[in-house]
Amino acid sequence: MAAPSSPLAMIEPRLRPLLPADLYAATWVEPSPANLTRIFEHLRTLQRILHDYVPRDVSENPPSPGQVRQSWQVSTLMFSDLAGFTPLLEANVAGGRAGADALLGVLNAYFAEMIEISSKAGGNLLEFTGDALLVQFPPDQRQNDMAQAVRAALRMQRAMAHYNHIETAYGTFSLGMRVGIHTGRFLTADIGTPRRMEHVLLGEAVQRAKRTESAGQAGRVCLTEAAHQRVKDEFRFEPGSPGYLLVVDDLTAEQLGEYDISTARRRPPSNVLFDRSIDGLINEIEGALKLVEPLASYIPMPVLNLLVESAATRRIPHDFSQPTVVFVNLVGLPEAVDQALPGEEEKIAIDFSRAFALTNAAVEARGGVLKKVTYHLAGSDIVIYFGAPNAHTDDSVRAADAALAIRDIVTHLTPPTVGGRQVEISCQIGMARGPAFAAEIGEPRGRREYNILGDTVNTAARLMGRAIGNRILITKSVYEEIAPHFNCQTLGSMPLKGKSASLPIFALNSRRTE
């Protein structure tokens, strides 16, 4: 900054994506101690924000950006998912800004309460996926993780009484929640590039946990047989869907209690200013960068820009939007970890990292956001948005281009050999466009994420589940926007879970030759 000979010029490329525009410009014009102090204080604030945006494993022990690492873990996983959210969202859309404010209030009250309850039982929130939560309960010395998860889930279900009768200006609504719990062995991995990292869980145990939630009932806690065996003497159960059991909540308030252990999320270490000379401030800024950069690499660039610009107020604008949502299921590679021989899991993590990095590049190049790798009934999903937080007039066209590029990336991946057999890799892609709620959700001063929620997200995910064998399935609204530019095929109407009537579905095949 200032002049090329300035010592600060050496770290200007590192500061560029992490400073709000006004602070960057002010310090470029005048690199005074006062402005350098403002940079240091901003980075310290940004570090605290990013700490709350990533899972505990990342915030407390981040890898160097671009470093691929993996490890096996055995612990309990809990999936929870809201029922009844779509009618609440659709009613509030009509209210514009007031409706958006009301919806955010309900959502953040819900998330803050559920996060607090799970944290008091030793849970580590790994991710938000729409209105769903994935929480990990690591085993302690007494191997109480399963019992802690069940008690947390029962407390969470009791707390849902606060959301059974939600009075709004647009009517009265009720929210319910399904909870599924499974225990097992899975691979955790940090993958990606210095520009964009991601923390993922791979293996059948993660899918089993998701399927358990799906097999459950609103208001109940559903367990797999493996989970049941670990706590069968501590709780009563009744049969659920075939292969699952439902916990009977017949405990008194005293028996259930309010918490198991105190696990307050540790605040991140941060530097304190001692030397306020220009050289001293530059050294302190460099130290702050070393703490911020590893965490920033886990945030999609458009979302990071929002966080940087809003760091002073710690408030990201929320609103209703019309995004095009893309769900990509990468089939074969994530599931291969369960067949891996000792040492082969590293190769799988590296291959998955390569697929993730190339996919993220395809999305970023077209102006989209690769939000995260999440978990589906059949494997690991990649969630992509076009139109939030940044909108373009041709977001559906951009999304279609990205989907074709991703399919090409997947079909050209070199399949690894795992357990003596070559892994078969394919993808399934679903696309939908429509109303959604874009907001920072979670605890306002705790664990939270920028996310989009709504039926459009669910529809894209359900189309992905039908897109077997490298197909790309799209809704009618997407088709109508991209048809002049792409070759699409009409597939007729399909029934989708959660839809009262079948929907017209189309397949995206290729881009038309101009």
Q: Can you give the pTM of this predicted structure?
A: 0.92
Question: Does 466 score more than 80 pLDDT?
Answer: yes
* Residue 95: predicted pLDDT: 86
User: What is the spatial distance between Cα 401 and Cα 4, in angstroms, rounded to a whole number?
Assistant: 41
User: What is the residue-averaged pLDDT of the chain?
Assistant: 91
Where b means 16+ CB within 10 Å and e means fewer, 414-440 reads: eebebeeeebebbbbbbbbbbebbbbb
Range of weakest confidence among 223-227, 264-268, 447-451, 497-501? 264-268
* Residue 202: predicted pLDDT: 92
* Residue 129: predicted pLDDT: 81
Beta strands 426-433 and 324-331, pairing class: antiparallel
* Residue 168: predicted pLDDT: 86
Question: Does 371 score more than 80 pLDDT?
Answer: yes
- What are the chain's domains? 10-57+273-309 (no CATH), 63-251 (3.30.70.1230), 319-511 (3.30.70.1230)
User: What is the spatial distance between Cα 126 and Cα 128, in angstroms, rounded to a whole number?
Assistant: 7
pLDDT, tens only, 404-418: 999 999 999 998 889
Average of per-residue pLDDT across 261-287: 76
